[in-house]
């Protein structure tokens, strides 16, 4: 008998809930997570590419001898700052992670083993959130230092000389934080899906209303 009027759902001879009752309890909108992953992938990929090709060369006056200016050609590249290198690596890993998770979510049902997929995905998502947030935090700190300098430490700003480099870096930061926000949302949804899976598992039919 179906679970209507407060009655328990059908239970088979092996003590499992009827499939129809479980399906009704599964979370709706399963397309939301793949869509968010695609957008997060595009955001972190954009951050990786923009920062990875970020480069500006300018000729500036570095000294004046008498009335003769001494010029030098300088190049600003992301490789010159370890925080920016870590930023690129973190976002590249996040992009690969989202591609891998899309493949797992698409093909995972065929190879899933006792819900291991639902347990593994939130763990990996949390690791990627920590990685990207660390990379973004360090890179933004260095970006702020480059834009405003630090008068107490006598560190001069460089963004007044390399405007394009700093503007492209700011764009990469924005894309990264969009991807990070989406990854956090995905992580919450994944945890809720795992909770629902455990709550409404066929072996846990007593938890169904």
In a domain, 14, yes or no: no
Domains in the chain, number: 1
Confidence (pLDDT) at 46:
96
In a domain, 98, yes or no: yes
What are the pLDDT digits (tens) for 30-51?
678 889 999 999 999 999 999 9
In a domain, 20, yes or no: no
Q: Is the pLDDT of residue 174 over 80?
A: yes
In a domain, 81, yes or no: yes
What are the pLDDT digits (tens) for 117-144?
667 788 889 999 999 999 999 999 998 8
**Encoding tokens for residue 194?**
């795992």
In a domain, 163, yes or no: yes
In a domain, 160, yes or no: yes
Which residue range is the domain that position 169 belongs to?
A: 31-198
């Amino acid at each position: 008998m179906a679970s209507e009027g407060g009655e328990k759902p059908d239970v088979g001879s092996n003590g499992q809930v009827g499939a129809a009752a479980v399906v009704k309890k599964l979370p709706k909108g399963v397309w939301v997570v793949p869509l968010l992953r695609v957008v997060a992938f595009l955001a972190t990929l954009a951050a990786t590419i923009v920062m990875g090709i970020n480069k500006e060369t300018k000729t500036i006056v570095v000294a004046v001898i008498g009335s003769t200016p001494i010029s030098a050609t300088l190049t600003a590249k992301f490789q010159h700052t370890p925080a920016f290198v870590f930023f690129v690596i973190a976002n590249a890993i996040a992009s690969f992670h989202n591609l891998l998770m899309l493949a797992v979510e698409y093909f995972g049902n065929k190879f899933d083993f006792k819900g291991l997929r639902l347990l593994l995905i939130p763990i990996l998502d949390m690791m990627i959130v920590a990685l990207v947030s660390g990379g973004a935090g360090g890179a933004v700190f260095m970006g702020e230092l480059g834009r405003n300098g630090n008068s107490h430490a006598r560190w001069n700003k460089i963004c007044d000389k390399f405007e394009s480099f700093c503007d492209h870096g700011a764009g990469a930061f924005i894309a990264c934080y969009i991807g990070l926000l989406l990854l956090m949302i995905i992580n919450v949804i994944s945890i809720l899906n795992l909770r629902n899976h455990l709550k409404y598992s066929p072996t846990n039919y007593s938890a169904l209303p």
